[in-house]
A and B are shown apart, each in its own frame.
Chain A
Amino acid sequence: MTKYVLKRIGTALLTLLIITFLLFLLVRIMPGNPFPSERMSADMIANKRAEMGLDDPIPVQFFNYLRKLLLEGDFGNGTSLYYGVPINSVLATCMSNSFRIGGMAILIGTALGLLLGITAALNRGKFLDGFCTVLSIIGVCVPSYVFLIFLQYYFSFRIPFFPYFFDAKRFLFSSVIPSLSLSLFTLSTIARFTRNEMVEVMDSDYVHLAEAKGLHGGSLVRRHVLRNALIPIVTVLAPLIVDLLTGALVVEKIYGINGIGKLMVDAITGEGIDYNYVLALGILYSALYIGIMLLVDILYGVLDPRIRVQGKAGDA
Chain B
Amino acid sequence: MSEKKPGLNQSAGKTILEIRDLDISFKTNAGTIHAIRGVNLDLCKGETVAIVGESGSGKSVTMKAVMGLLDSNASVNSGEILYTYPDASGREVTVDLLKMPKKQLRQQINGQRIAMVFQDPMTSLDPTMTIGKQIMEGMFLHENMEKKAARARALELLNLVGITDAEKRFRNYPHQLSGGMRQRVVIAIALSANPDILICDEPTTALDVTIQARILELIMEIQKKMGLSVVYITHDLGVVAKVADYVDVMYAGKIVEVGNVNEIFYEPKHPYTWGLLSAMPDLETEDDRLYSIPGSPPNLLHEPKGDAFAARNQFALAIDEKAEPPLFQVSPTHWAATWLLHPDAPKVEMPPELQARLERARKEAEKVL
Query: Hey, which bits of chain A sit against chain B, CB under 8 A?
Result: 124-125, 203-217, 223-224, 227-228, 231, 303-306, 309, 315-316
Contact = CB atoms under 8 A, between A and B. Distances in A.
A305 B72 contact: no
A51 to B, nearest CB: 59
Contact of B110 (A213, A223, A309): A213
A204 B107 CA distance: 21
Contacts of A213: 110-111, 115, 137-138, 141, 189, 192-193
B44 interface: no
B124 A209 contact: yes
B5 interface: no
Contact of A304 (B72, B112, B128, B190): B128
B69 interface: yes
A228 B128 contact: yes
A225 to B, nearest CB: 10
A228 B69 contact: no
B137 A208 contact: no
B144 interface: no
Given A205-B120, A208-B69, A216 B125 contact: no
Contact of A224 (B72, B126, B190, B192): B126
A212 B176 contact: no
A306 B125 contact: no
5 contacts: A210-B137, A214-B112, A217-B103, A231-B128, A309-B176
Contacts of A215: 106, 137, 141
Contacts of A306: 127, 173, 175
B127 A212 contact: no
Given A207-B126, A214-B193, 13 more contacts: A205-B124, A206-B127, A209-B126, A211-B69, A212-B115, A213-B138, A214-B107, A227-B128, A228-B127, A304-B128, A305-B130, A305-B175, A306-B175
A206 B69 contact: no
A220 to B, nearest CB: 9
Nearest to B139: A213
Given A125-B72, A316-B176, A214 B127 contact: no
B142 A214 contact: yes
B170 interface: no
Contacts of B176: 309, 315-316
Interface residues of B, number: 39
A214 B106 contact: yes
A303 B173 CA distance: 12
Interface in B110-125: 110-112, 115-116, 118-120, 123-125
Contacts of B67: 211-212
A216 B125 CA distance: 16
A210 B67 CA distance: 12
B206 to A, nearest CB: 10
Nearest to B192: A213
Query: A-side binding surface: helix, strand, loop or mixed?
Result: helix
B362 interface: no
A303 B189 CA distance: 23
Interface in B42-98: 67-69, 71-73
A212 B198 CA distance: 11
A212 B115 CA distance: 6
Contacts of A315: 176
B133 to A, nearest CB: 9
A305 B173 contact: yes
A53 to B, nearest CB: 54
Contacts of B129: 223-224
A262 B238 CA distance: 72
B137 A124 contact: no
B327 interface: no
A125 B72 CA distance: 9
Contact of B141 (A204, A208, A214, A228): A214
A210 B128 contact: no
Nearest to B119: A205
Given A124-B72, A217-B103, A316-B176, A212 B126 contact: no
Contacts of B154: none
A306 B125 CA distance: 13
A217 B105 CA distance: 12
Contacts of B102: 216
Most buried by B among A206, A212, A214: A212
Contacts of A211: 67-69, 106, 110
Contacts of A204: 123
Given A214-B112, A214-B138, A208 B124 contact: yes
A206 B103 contact: no
A15 to B, nearest CB: 29
A209 B189 contact: yes
Contact of A228 (B109, B111, B126): B126
B123 A205 contact: yes
A125 B106 CA distance: 23
A76 B73 CA distance: 64
Contacts of B190: 212
| Interface pairs A-B: 10 shortest CB-CB | A214-B111, A205-B124, A216-B106, A213-B111, A305-B173, A213-B138, A205-B123, A214-B110, A206-B126, A212-B116
Nearest to A220: B106
A209 to B, nearest CB: 5
Given A125-B73, A214-B106, A209 B118 contact: yes
A304 B173 CA distance: 10
Contact of B69 (A212, A217, A303): A212
B186 interface: yes
